[in-house]
Amino acid sequence: MNAVILDAASLGPDIDLAPIRERVGSLAVHQQSSTAEARERLQGARVAIVNKVVLDAQTLEALPDLKLICVLATGTNNIDMSAAERLGIAVKNVSAYGTASVAQHTLMLMLTLANRLSLYQRDVAEGRWGRSDFFCLMDHGTLQLEGKHLVIVGQGVLGSRVAQLSEAFGMQVTFAARPGNESDDRRPSLAELAPAADIISLHCPLSDATRHLVDADLLATLRPGVLLINCARGGIIDENAALAALRNGRLGGLGVDVLPEEPPRDGHPLIDALAEPLNLVVTPHNAWITPEARQKIVALTADNLRDWQAE
Active-site position among 116, 161, 203, 233: 233
Residue 131 is among the residues annotated as catalytic for this protein: no
Active-site position among 262, 276, 292, 306: 262
Residue 46 is among the residues annotated as catalytic for this protein: no
Apex 139 CA angle, 138 and 145, nearest 5: 65
Active-site position among 30, 187, 212, 285: 285
Residue 262 is among the residues annotated as catalytic for this protein: yes
Active site residues: 233, 262, 285
